[in-house]
């Protein structure tokens, strides 16, 4: 199997590792709300990443004219779902904002690390 084909699985696995490290890093602060925000934000980010990965796989497996429209429609559904979930977390649940932002950065951190790793090989 080609290296590029293994990349999505590597990214998915590394997302969980980064989330665990961020959670462990938040524990010394003794702030339960911060740790909860990181956990919830990380779960939202990883969930969005997995949803996007599944949508892209479906698009590439079925390259018909309708598949492109379904992907674009799914994009707006994913974006809307993310907005609703974040609004509920911030406005109703009152999740720790800084923790949520750190947690939502899991995938971004992962992509940065993967890019840096490949650039310095």
pLDDT tens-digit profile of 53-105? 888 888 888 777 788 788 889 899 999 999 999 999 999 999 999 999 999 99
The Cα 47–Cα 16 span in angstroms is 11
In this structure, which long-range contacts are made by residues 57-64, counting pairs with CB atoms below 8 Å and at least 24 apart in sequence?
none
pTM to 2 decimal places? 0.89
User: In this model, does residue 1 exceed pLDDT 70?
Assistant: no
The Cα 111–Cα 52 span in angstroms is 14
């Amino acid at each position: 199997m080609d290296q590029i084909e293994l990349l999505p699985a590597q990214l998915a696995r590394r997302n969980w590792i980064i989330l665990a490290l961020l959670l462990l890093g938040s524990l010394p602060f003794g702030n339960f709300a911060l740790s909860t925000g990181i956990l919830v934000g990380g779960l939202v980010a990883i969930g969005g990443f997995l949803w996007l990965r599944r949508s892209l796989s479906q698009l590439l497996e079925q390259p018909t004219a309708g598949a492109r429209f379904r992907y674009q429609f799914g994009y707006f559904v994913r974006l809307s779902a993310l907005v609703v979930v974040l609004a509920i977390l911030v406005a109703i649940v009152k999740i720790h904002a800084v923790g949520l932002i750190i947690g939502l950065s899991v995938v971004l951190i992962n992509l940065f690390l993967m890019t840096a790793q490949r650039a310095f090989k």
